[in-house]
Amino acid sequence: MEHQTEEPGDAAAPVGAPEPTRHGRLPRHTGPRATLKLVASVVAVVAVSATAVAAYAAVDLVGSVKQGASLASEDMLAGVPDIGAMDGGLNFLLVGSDKRPADGSFGDPEEDSGILNDVNMLLHVSQDHSHVEVVSFPRDMIVPVPECPDPVDPASGPLSAMSGVPLNSVLEHGGLTCIAMTIEQLTGTKIPVAGVVEFKGVAALSEAVGGVEVCLADPIDDRDSGLKLSAGTHSIKGFEALAFLRTRKAANDGSDLGRIASQQAFLASLARTLQSSGTLSDPVKLYSIAKAVLSNMELSKELQNPARLMSIARALQDTDLSKIAFVQYPTADYGDGVHVQPAESAEVVNLALQEDRPVVIDPSANDNAGYGTADPSAPAVEQATTDADAETVTADEAQSADDEQAAEEAPASDAPATTPAEEQLPPDVTGLTGNEVRCVTGNSD
Could you tell me if residue 154 is inside a domain?
Answer: yes
Could you tell me if residue 406 is inside a domain?
Answer: no
CA distance 202 to 257: 20
Nearest to 139 by CA among 100, 180, 181, 95: 95
Are residues 58 and 182 located together in one domain of the fold? no
Could you tell me if residue 7 is inside a domain?
Answer: no
Could you tell me if residue 393 is inside a domain?
Answer: no
E-strand stretches of 126-242: 132-136, 142-145, 162-166, 193-197, 212-216, 220-222, 227-229, 232-236
When divided into structural domains, the chain yields a total of 2
| Distance between first and last Cα of the chain | 15
Nearest to 433 by CA among 323, 345, 328: 323
Are residues 40 and 168 located together in one domain of the fold? no
E-strand stretches of 65-211: 90-97, 117-125, 132-136, 142-145, 162-166, 193-197
3-state secondary structure of 64: helix
Backbone angles phi, psi at 207, to 5 degrees: -70, -40
- Residues 168, 118 contacting (CB under 8 angstroms): yes
pTM higher than 0.85, yes or no? no
Could you tell me if residue 392 is inside a domain?
Answer: no
Are residues 113 and 52 located together in one domain of the fold? no
Are residues 344 and 231 located together in one domain of the fold? yes
Are residues 72 and 55 located together in one domain of the fold? no
Range of the domain at 51: 31-64
Measure Cα distances from 17 to 201, 231, 256, 281 in Å.
33, 43, 22, 49
Burial 263-292 (b: 16+ CB within 10 A, else e): bbbbbbbbbbbbbeeebbeeeebbbbbbbb
Are residues 286 and 276 located together in one domain of the fold? yes
Are residues 366 and 254 located together in one domain of the fold? yes
3-state secondary structure of 401: helix
Could you tell me if residue 13 is inside a domain?
Answer: no
Give me the amino acid identity at 322.
S
Beta bridge partners of 297: 197
Are residues 132 and 201 located together in one domain of the fold? yes
Are residues 104 and 52 located together in one domain of the fold? no
CA distance 374 to 372: 7
Are residues 85 and 52 located together in one domain of the fold? no
Question: What would the DSSP string read from start to end of 303-355?
Answer: G--HHHHHHHHHHHHTS-GGGEEEEEPPEEE-SSSS-EEE-TTHHHHHHHHHT
3-state secondary structure of 122: strand
Q: What is the CATH number of the domain that holds 277?
A: 3.40.630.190
Q: How many residues does the structure list for the chain?
A: 445
CA distance 315 to 275: 12
Could you tell me if residue 414 is inside a domain?
Answer: no
Q: Rg of the chain's alpha carbons, rounded to an integer?
A: 22
Give me the amino acid identity at 154.
P
Could you tell me if residue 1 is inside a domain?
Answer: no
Are residues 195 and 300 located together in one domain of the fold? yes
Are residues 40 and 91 located together in one domain of the fold? no
- Residues 333, 106 contacting (CB under 8 angstroms): no
pLDDT in tens, the chain (445 residues): 444 444 444 444 444 444 444 555 444 444 444 444 444 444 444 344 434 455 545 556 666 666 678 898 888 887 776 776 788 899 999 999 887 665 555 554 455 556 899 999 999 999 988 999 999 999 999 999 999 999 888 888 899 999 999 999 999 999 999 999 999 999 999 999 999 988 778 888 888 888 999 999 999 999 888 899 999 999 999 989 989 998 888 888 788 888 898 899 999 999 898 888 677 777 777 778 878 877 888 888 887 776 777 778 777 777 899 999 999 999 999 988 889 999 999 999 999 999 999 999 877 766 655 677 777 665 544 444 334 333 333 344 434 444 444 444 444 444 344 567 888 888 889 899 999 888 888 876 6
